Structure formats: structure tokens, C-alpha cells
Amino acid sequence: MKVFVRNVARTKCLPISQLQLRSFATASESSRIPKINADRFHKTLHETCEKYGAAHRYGQRSDETGMARLTLNDDDIAVRKWLEKEMEKVGCTLKVDSMGNMFFIRPGSKANKALPVAMGSHLDTQPMGGRYDGILGIMAAVEAMRTMHDHNVQTNGPIALINWTNEEGARFSKSMCGSSVWSGQLSEEEAHSLIDVHDKKTTMGQELERSGYLGKMKAHHTAMPLAAHFELHIEQGPILERANGKVGVVQGGQAYKWIQVTINGRECHTGSTPFEDRADAMQSAAKIIVMSKKYARKQGGLASTGLLSVFPSSVNTCPGKVTFTLDVRHKNDASLEAILFEIEREAERICKEESERGTKMDWKISFASTAVKFNANCHSAIQQAAERYVKPEEIMPIISGAGHDSCAASIRCPTAMIFVPSKNGLSHHPEEYTSPEDCAIGAQVLMDSVLTYDQQHV
């Protein structure tokens, strides 16, 4: 490999104690590649979780909690302020756009014309979230910036760390929200007018203003173009763990759609209304939920219901109205459309034929994300980087089940993601867990990938 690390201050190398990274690089390569400080990284990850949004304790150890750091709540604001301070210490400058997306830029050696190679992810979490989803990607990027600073690494182009706003869509119901405005897939106006799901009086625009993160720069890829976007993330599924994989080279993301389904029936008394006189919205909803899974499974996709509301809510009244969500996914767009077509048609039939007096369905697509293919040059950089630290059989191509900021980024710049294993495939859960060793491998591969890409393509 090329010598892309210059002026390495070898005396600054920090101990990596228990969290030793294996190295499959040659001795000469190895000596030139800065190693991240896995101890510092581990400590930073958990200390910031503890201070900014820890919740849902499940064990005695200090790191045995989940997270509830919802977009632009006080904990999210506080961790953003912490990030500003830390990035200033390592010589980064900050640009904030009108979506609160934060771009920390470390200058490169080339003059102004080179675009930054970015390491992006998100600091917000689900209300019952864990310590790794999103946070790992940012904290690994923090460690990469610190390591580059410690070792005085000089890159061709600038390197960016990006904290994308509201990736989860848990507080303001659009996931990949900040990155989608940047990519031009979502209008700033629509994003700003999103309403807090727990407080109907508050919009995202108001919270951006209150937090001080309503930046003056337009949230758009033309205002802040990138050379490439890399993201380290936990897999959130069981595939790597099962296959004893260590690094997933993410090929792309599943296509998916969210559907808001409303079933209108007729409320009636549970005791005095024979079945033949009912238009029971709950029965229709339950049948559609069961059926949607069956149809998705048949075609190798996924279908899930995460939200359901009943109206009116009374134990002895059959609901006149039930609303629920369907989250349907498949790795390719055409198959997703085929599944959705079948589910919708069958749902219509259930409402018409299986409810005695007939319920009515309203089917509204609230979010759509086409299948994403990541960039071959980015894959190559990740593959080269990963091969330095893990065995070839521990590196796996993988498809992302979830949506990520990288999916939005990928339509505007070369993009790829790195996955590390999730214990029991658990995610969106307080107990989601990735071992310190796996986190460290991920962070090292992230930094190496970015440096490799910078050397090869900037």
C-alpha cells in the first residue's frame, strides 16, 4: 500500500491494553498505519451515553442502560455541544446547516478545491434505544479525528465528521430526515413543519431554533458537497454474528415503504351486537397485520406493525376506527412493489368480504425509500482496510435491512457503510450490544477506509 500517513509521531502511540486490535498488515505497512486508541474510544462512547440521555437500566454495570436521546431534546443539544468542544480540540471547524446537520471539517493538504471525505452518522436515538445505533458511527469518527490529530496525519482533501439530524424519525416522524433534506429528497419546509409526536404544539423548526442549531447554511448537497460518505454502524441484525463475521461491507440498503392504514368500521356494543351486525375495525386490522407478514415472507421480504391506535378506546365497544402502520421491505424495488400490491389487494378483500357489515380501508404511503446500491470504490477502500485487521473469511458483503443516512448520501456522492456485529441481532432496544473489540475494529476500519479513499480518489 501507499504511504498515505505522513510524519507519523510514533512516540505518541497510545496503549491499546485489553482492546488489542489484531493486525494482518505486513510489518512495514503496520508501522505506518496509525492505530486508534481503543480504550479512549470505549470510554468516550460510554461516558457520553451516560451523560447525555442514558435510560432504561437493565443491569448493574454503569454501561448497562439503553438510551432515550430524542432529536433536539436537551440531551441531544448537550451532546452536540460536547462534540463541538472535542472537535475544536483536534483542529476541526464547524458548519451547521438549516437542518441542524453538523459538518466538522479537518483541512487537507490540497488547496480549497478538494471536497471532504466524510464519516457521518447520527447522535439521536429511539425512545427505547441502545448505545450503538448511530452513536457508534459518530464516536468512531471522533476517535478517528483524534487519532489523525495525535499522529499528525495529512490527507489530500479535507476529512469531515457529520452528525445528521433526526435520523431515527422517532420524535419528528421522518427518518433520515436531515440527510434527506441535504440530498434533496425532502424539502426543508416539510422537515421544519414536522410535529413532535409527543407534543403536538412543537415543530422541528421550532426546536432547531430553540436549540441554536438552525444554521444559516442551506441544508443541501450543493451548499456542502462531499467527495464521499462512509458510515460505521451496528448491523442491527443477526447475520454477521451467526456467520462469525467481523466486518460487513454493506452493498446497499433494502427498498422499503411505510404505509399508514386506517380501517373504518362502526363502533358497537360488544355484548349486544351479534357478529353478523358488526363492522369491527379491530378484527379487520388484526387480520391484515397477520396477512401482511405471511405475504411478505412468501416473497422474501419483511412486514411489521409498530404503531396501532384504537378509536374509541373502551373495553365494551368494538372500535369504529383502527389506524396502524405497515413497514414493508425487500432488497429490490420491484419485489417490494409486488408485495405491497398483494397486501393492499388482500387487505381490501378482508375489509369487504371478511367483515360482516364491511369495513373500509384507507391506504396511505407515508414514506418510501428505494433500494440503494453503494459505491464500488468505497467498497474497495473498506475491503482493503478490513483486510488489515481481520481474516478474509471474517469480511462479508451484506445488505442493510434498515435505512441509514448513507442511503440519502449515496444519491449525491460515492458512499458505503461498514457493519459490525450486533449481539443477538438486537437493535432499537436498550440492550443492543456490540463488544468493545468489535467496536474498535469498526472504528479502525472506518478511519483506514477514509484515508485509503482519500489517497486513491481525492
Alpha carbon distance 59, 288 (integer Å): 38
How far apart are CB 156 and its own copies at their closest, in Å?
34
DSSP-derived pairing of the beta strands 117-121 and 228-234:
parallel
Q: Closer to its own copies by CB, 76 or 143: give it.
A: 76
Looking at beta carbons only, is 41 or 256 nearer to its own copies?
256
Q: Does 268 bind its own copies (CB under 8 A)?
A: yes
State the binding string over 152-191 for its own copies (x if CB under 8 A, else -).
-----------------xx--x-x----------------
Angle between helices 436-457 and 376-387 (to 10 degrees): 130
The verdict on 37 binding its own copies (CB under 8 A) reads no
Q: Going residue by residue from 42 to 81, which x/- string records binding to its own copies, judged by CB under 8 A? A: ----------------------------------------
Give the Cα separation of 54 and 57 in Å (integer).
Answer: 8
Total residues in contact with its own copies, by rule CB under 8 A: 66
Cβ closer to its own copies: 82 or 311?
A: 311
Span interacting with its own copies, options 33-41, 78-86, 206-214, 298-306, rule CB under 8 A:
298-306
Which H or E run contains 397?
strand 395-400
* Separation between Cα atoms, residue 340 and residue 89, nearest integer Å: 50
Closest CA to 441 of 42, 168, 148: 42
CB of residue 120 to its own copies, shortest distance in Å: 19
Cell of 395: 469480511
Distance CA 190, CA 319 (A): 32
Stretch that binds its own copies, among 12-20, 114-122, 177-185, 264-272 (CB under 8 A): 264-272
Q: Based on CB atoms, which residue is closest to its own copies, 282 or 378?
A: 282
Residues within window 209-248 making contact with its own copies, judged by CB under 8 A? 235-239
Write the CA distances from 43 to 262, 322, 431, integer angstroms: 46, 46, 18
What whole-number distance in Å separates Cα of residue 300 and Cα of residue 295?
A: 9
Q: Applying CB under 8 A, does 368 fall inside the site for its own copies?
A: no
Nearer to its own copies, 67 or 228 (CB): 67
Bridge partners for 360 per DSSP: 264
CB within 8 A of 60, min separation 6: which ones?
none
- Report whether 1 contacts 23 (CB < 8 A): no
Residue closer to its own copies by CB (options 152, 270) is: 270
User: 404-433: which residues touch its own copies (CB under 8 A)?
Assistant: 424-429
d(CA 455, CA 109): 12
**CB closer to its own copies out of 388 and 429:** 429
Q: CB burial class (10 A; 0-12, 13-18, 19+) of residue 16? A: middle
What is the spatial distance between Cα 302 and Cα 297, in angstroms, rounded to a whole number?
Answer: 6
**Please, what is the minimum distance in Å from the beta carbon of residue 255 to its own copies?**
10
Cα 341 from chain centroid?
A: 27
Task: Please state, in angstroms and rounded to a whole number, the distance separating the CA atoms of residues 386 and 451.
Answer: 13
For the bound state, the minimum distance from the C-beta of residue 289 to its own copies, rounded and expressed in Å, comes to 4
Q: How far is the CB of 273 from its own copies (least distance, A)?
A: 6
Minimum CB distance to its own copies, residue 393 (Å): 22
Contacts of its own copies in 299-328 (CB under 8 A): 302, 304-308, 310, 312-320, 325, 327
Angle between the 38-51 and 74-89 helix axes, to the nearest 10 degrees?
150
Which residues contact its own copies (rule: CB under 8 A)?
A: 126-128, 169-170, 173, 175, 197, 235-239, 254, 256, 258, 266-275, 277, 280, 282-283, 285-287, 289-290, 293, 297, 302, 304-308, 310, 312-320, 325, 327, 329, 400-403, 424-429
